[in-house]
Amino acid sequence: MELREKIYTFLLGFHERVQERSSSANKDTKRLYCGIWIYIPDTVGLLSRENFTSAGASGMSSLMFTLIFLQLPLLVWSWAGTGCLSTMKQRAHLDGDVMIAGFFPLYTMGADHSNSDASRQQENKPPRFIFKNYQFVLALTFAIEEINKNPYLLHNLTLGFDIYNVEFEGWKILKNPFISLFGKDNIPNYSCMRESKSIAVLTGPSGLTSAQIGTFLDLYKFPQLTFGPLDHALSDHKKFPALYQMPSKDTSIATAMVSLLLHFSWNWIGLLTFQDENGLWIVPELKKEMVKNRICIAFEITIPNYTLSLKFMALYTEINKSSANVLIIYGDNESILYLMMCVEEYFIKGKVCIMNSHWALTTRRRYFMQGSFHVPLIFSHHHPDILGFSDFVKPVNPSKYPEDFFLAILWFLSFNCSDSESDCVTWENCPHEASLDWLPEHIFDMTMSGESYHIYNAVYVVAQALHEMLLHQTKLQTMGNGKGTVTSPAQLHYFLKNIQFQNPAGDQVILEEKKKLEAEYDIVNIWNFPEGIELMVKLGKFSPYALHGHQLFLSEDMIEWAIGTTEPPQSVCSETCGPGFRKSPQEGKAACCFDCIPCSEDGIANGTDMDQCLKCPDHQYANTERNQCLLRTTTFLAHGEPLGMALASMALSLSILTTVVLGVFVKHKNTPIVKANNQALSYILLISLIFCFLCSLLFIGRPNTVTCILQQTTFGVVFTVAVSTVLAKTVTVVLAFKVTSLGRRMRWLLLSGAPNLIIPICTLIQVTLCGIWLGTSPPFVDTDAHSEHGHLIILCNRGSLTAFYRVLGYLGFLALVSFTLAFLARNLPDTFNEAKFLTFSMLMFCTVWLIFLPVYHSAKGTVMVAVEVFSILASSAGLLGCIFAPKCYIILLRPDRNLLHGFRDKTHTQRNKFS
């Protein structure tokens, strides 16, 4: 304690002696004193004697750190000849009746997060001025000067500002807010706060620093307006009742990001968020939009804010080895800055990073790595251009704003101002025509940034609220000197909450979150060059107010992809299924992971990544590529086709041949062989065979309703007549050779022609079956689109399969009975005995139809019809050939055997053998 007391007394005394002697010192010494003037007061004045002597080890180390590494470089600058710096406090000031305080990150010690290993390694670096952030000061100055010139706003009351640097280190964030509001020698909540003309405080762009300062400001109900990206952690009005966020609502950011994914057909995405309110809000929103648009999450990583690099290293494999080449990163500026440092450090290769922030606080990025290893696509709030801002910035110089400490630093660093023989407050050695527009765009941008635009709006918000408050006070009291008396910053809240106006650029400005408009977004790409130059290029825009499908506009050819590539990377779990293929999900994996399966013969896929193949209509068929339906060719068993022509010729030829045979039998009706084989039955059989041959013609040609009905019924009836006739002939033969042994009754049956009744009885049964068939489910015209590729076959549908097989079964039964009887009578006397011929004819008939059944069912299309026609012709020809060919041979070629005495002698001999 005694040592600390002595150190404090020494530093305070030294400070006082510097103040006393600086006025009488020579020029060289004065420069040293000018530097010490900055070096001592801002350090010693930060703590009272009690705080200094009671500080713990951490507090002392922090104080020494400030002495050595924060103030010492400023002393060096002063000693090197930047004399103007020595007479200025570390602030930017513009006097006014009412002041706005601003706490901006204008220079940094080079370490963003004091509890980070990487940060502790860089703490020994000197302060580094953030050139781009100086635009915050200019935007504030521009807005205040514009308002002060406006005769319709605030009347005779003028606005001013005090702007201080806010440092990244948590233990230093409250330093300047403390000094600006309380002075250097007062302790809050102990001595009264010094009289301050500040009416509101601007903070940002960091949500973290705004939250820490906001907690302090809320104690005194100071209105706080933040100009950084919308931070959901700051939306808690119970925790931050005096804080207002300037940006528009971020409700469409998830839709905007997903629209970009859809534009490039990226559906396999990595998601990186942080364990804070922003992460808790965005993840459900993104997932909902992704599910709606069939986009899958390859991996989802939630990172604690400012985690150690080793924790990120553990995630390296999951990120870098993943097939997902697109990462969505959502967070505040500091979080994204830290994450991008890790991304660079661990060489996340070939990834596209889609972010909601452009890490404006970045000061130590290894630029040469950017562009080589990952591509940033950034969504930033769109804002209109502010007319006159660039013209305002061009003439800015330290002589115009002598109380702007930060402009002096920027001028010294940018234009290499050197020592002169004049007093330390002159700037004669700087280029006389120096202007900020001399600076390269990557150092200082003359175009107003998004954060600066929010600062511009924030100043107008304060002015409008103050104006309304003054009008309200005018109604309550009369002001003697013509100027409104601003009592307390806390009184401004009522007017801030209800503020709504149109700024000079034409934008609606609303602080009430429920009434805020949704943000439009500029899509920004960072162009990086090997020498470390950074350019932020606008590629497109997303507007939630545009029609669906037209919300996203993007100039894809302007994107700078990773070095060595000119095309956007692919980020899919599975390659796209082209036309002709459908997706088949992979079991146990995400919906975006699938196999590509060819469509079936009757299906097509005319697009990419189709879940199901589309079935072609019956009159169309799929081409070989399975991506288009073509019109089928209508086909049937036509007369003009070779197969139809051949079958029709066979049918006609066989029917003619049967007619010739019938003619031969009619001509030789009185010969023994014709009489012996039952002349009437022979005629009936021949006529029925003619109709059997001719009925096959019903199957050839374009089917219609009439031909479909006649096909099966005619076939069934005429074949029943033919087979029943064969059965009658067989019965007749058996009775003829057994007449002696069977007695008179059997002889009567034979002589009366009773076997002939078999034909009408059997035919009547078949006609009944066909009538039932037609009455229940008759045949009809049908089409077959599957049997022949590219053809639509027109054919007759049999209707009831049961009825069809009953007709065939009945025919088979008659044929089997005829075959059995003929087989039993085959060894009877063979002169003019046709039992053997009947046996062979029934054997052939049954064989043809037994072969027909399996072949018929295995055939398709016109072949099936041809098989049935051929079976009709073959079975009919078998009956004709086996029964009538031998008789025609005897009648036409061996008339000597067609004699009655020969028949009798031979018959008598055979009967003696059997007796």
What CATH number is attached to the domain comprising 763?
1.20.1070
Q: Are residues 709 and 847 in the same domain?
A: yes
Which of 67-81, 248-262, 381-395, 875-889 bottoms out in mean pLDDT, i.e. has the lowest? 67-81
8 Å CB contact between 129 and 106? yes
Q: Which residues contact 737 (CB under 8 A, 6 or more apart)?
A: 825, 828, 829, 833
Same domain membership, residue 761 and residue 720: yes
The structure tokens 């940034």 sit at: 449
Match 């067989």 to its residue by tokens. 730
In this structure, the number of other CB atoms found within 10 A of the CB of residue 16 comes to 11
Q: How far apart are CA 787 and CA 793, in angstroms?
A: 8
Longest CA–CA separation in the chain, Å: 175
Tokens of 771: 């009538």
In 3D, which of 107, 312, 333 has the Cα closest to residue 208? 333
506 inside domain: no
- In this prediction, residues 256-266 reach a mean pLDDT of 93
820 found inside a domain: yes
Residue 815, pLDDT > 70, answer yes
Measured CA to CA, the distance from residue 328 to residue 338 in angstroms comes to: 15
When mean pLDDT is compared over 35-39, 245-249, 679-683, 906-910, the highest value belongs to 245-249
pLDDT at 190: 42
Query: What is the length of the chain?
Result: 915
Q: CA–CA separation, 721 vs 727, rounded Å? A: 10
HSE-CB of 428 using CA atoms within 13 angstroms: 8
- The answer to whether the CB of 100 falls within 8 A of the CB of 462 is yes
The type of residue at 209 is T
pLDDT in tens, 128-160: 788 889 999 999 999 999 999 998 898 788 999
Neighbours of 97 (CB within 10 A): 16
Q: Are residues 817 and 892 in the same domain?
A: yes
- Whether the per-residue pLDDT at 116 is higher than 70: the answer is no
Domain, as residue range, for 840? 642-914
Residue 165 phi, psi (nearest 5): -75, 140
- Dihedral through CA 822, CA 824, CA 827, CA 832, nearest 10? -30
Q: What is the average pLDDT across 259-287?
A: 90
- 657 and 626 belong to one structural domain: no
Mean pLDDT of 383-397: 92
- Which carries the bigger pLDDT value, residue 39 or residue 251? 251
- Please indicate, yes or no, if residue 312 is contained in any of the structural domains: no
Residue 434 has pLDDT above 60, yes or no: yes
Q: Answer yes or no: is 423 within a domain.
A: no
Phi, psi dihedral angles at 620 (to 5 degrees): -125, 165
CA distance 111 to 466: 38
Among candidate residues 391, 392, 389, the one with its CA nearest the CA of residue 401? 392
Residue 148 confidence (pLDDT): 94
- For 536-548, the pLDDT digits (tens) are 788 999 999 999 8
* 335 occurs within a structural domain: no
Side-chain half-sphere exposure of 737, counting CA atoms within 13 A: 30
Structure tokens at 885: 């060919």
The answer to whether 469 and 491 have CB atoms below 8 angstroms apart is yes
pLDDT tier at 654, thresholds 50, 70, 90: very high
Structural domain contains residue 187: no
Please state the rounded mean pLDDT for residues 164-171: 69
DSSP 347-409: T-TTEEEEES---TT--S--GGGTTTSEEEEEEEE--PPPTTHHHHHTT--TTTSTTBHHHHH
Average pLDDT over residues 860-883: 87
The closest alpha carbon to 810, from 749, 721, 747, belongs to: 721
Q: Are 463 and 159 in contact (CB under 8 A)?
A: yes
Amino acid 501: pLDDT: 92
Q: Give the H/E segment covering residue 108.
A: strand 107-108
Q: CA-to-CA distance for 524 and 554, rounded, in angstroms?
A: 10
Phi, psi values for residue 99, rounded to 5° = -110, 150
| Confidence check: pLDDT of 531 > 60 | no
- Same domain membership, residue 846 and residue 703: yes
pLDDT of residue 693: 92
- Report helix, strand or coil for 416: coil
Tell whether 605 and 711 lie within a shared domain. no
Domain end among 570, 598, 631: 631
The answer to whether residue 572 scores a pLDDT higher than 70 is: yes
Residues 775 and 707 in one domain: yes
CA-CA distance, 627 to 616, in Å (whole number)?
Answer: 10
* Residue with more model confidence, 660 or 416: 660
For residue 107, being part of any structural domain is answered with no
Q: For 492-505, b where at least 16 C-beta lie within 10 A, e where not — what string?
A: bbebbeebebebee
**In which band, very low, low, confident or very high, does the pLDDT at 350 lie, cut at 50, 70 and 90?**
confident
Question: Do 458 and 243 meet the contact criterion of CB atoms below 8 Å apart?
Answer: no
Inform me whether the pLDDT recorded for 389 exceeds 90.
Answer: yes
673 with 592, same domain: the answer is: no
Final residue belonging to a domain, choices 80, 103, 121: 80
Quick one: pLDDT at residue 461? 95
Please check whether residues 597 and 656 belong to one and the same domain.
Answer: no
**Does residue 485 register a pLDDT over 60?**
no
Least confident of 723-732, 747-756, 816-825, 870-879: 747-756
pLDDT surpasses 90 at 790: no
Provide the domain count of the chain.
Answer: 3
Same domain, 796 and 705: yes
Tell me the average pLDDT across 229-256: 90
Torsion of CA 183, 185, 187, 190, to 10 degrees: -110
Out of 223-227, 394-398, 475-479, 492-496, pick the least confident.
475-479
Residue that wins the pLDDT comparison between 35 and 733: 733
Amino acid found at 175: K
The owner of tokens 């469509």 is 599
CA distance 832 to 883: 11
pLDDT of amino acid 859: 81
Q: What is the pLDDT of residue 237?
A: 85
**Best mean pLDDT range from 224-228, 453-457, 494-498:** 453-457
**Distance separating alpha carbons of residues 350 and 4, to the nearest angstrom:** 55
pLDDT-wise least confident of 71-85, 619-633, 732-746, 827-841: 71-85
Which residues lie closer than 8 Å to 746 by C-beta, 6 or more apart?
Answer: 735, 738, 739
pLDDT > 50? residue 300: yes
What whole-number distance in Å separates Cα of residue 707 and Cα of residue 700?
Answer: 10
Neighbours of 110 (CB within 10 A): 17
> Which two structure tokens, joined as six digits, stand for 368?
């040469």
Handedness of CA 720, 726, 729, 733 (dihedral sign): negative
DSSP assignments along 17-49, one per residue:
HHHHHTTTS-HHHHHHHHHHHHHTHHHHTTS-H
Of 80, 106, 130, the one marking the end of a domain is 80
**What is the spatial distance between Cα 290 and Cα 267, in angstroms, rounded to a whole number?**
8
Mean pLDDT check: name the lowest of 270-274, 354-358, 655-659. 354-358
Q: What is the pLDDT of residues 189-209, one digit of tens each?
A: 444 444 567 899 999 888 888
Name the DSSP letter for residue 547.
P
Read off the pTM.
0.65
The dihedral formed by the CA atoms of 328, 329, 330 and 331, expressed in degrees to the nearest 10: 180
The mean per-residue pLDDT over the stretch 282-293 comes to 93
Of the chain, the percentage scoring pLDDT greater than 70 comes to: 72
pLDDT at residue 528 tops 80: no
Report the chain's terminal Cα–Cα distance, integer Å: 155
The single-letter code of the amino acid at 896 is D
**Pair (652, 614) in one structural domain:** no
pLDDT at 228: 85
- Is the pLDDT at 6 greater than 70, yes or no? no
Query: Same structural domain for residues 799 and 689?
Result: yes
The token duo for 671 is: 């010969």
Q: How many CB atoms lie within 10 A of CB 448?
A: 22
In a domain? residue 685: yes
Distance CA 829, CA 408 (A): 142
Question: Are 812 and 806 in contact, with CB atoms under 8 Å apart?
Answer: no
DSSP string for residues in 776-839: HS--EEEEESSSSTTEEEEEEE-S-HHHHHHHHHHHHHHHHHHHHHHHHTTTS--TT--HHHHH
Supply the mean pLDDT for the chain: 77
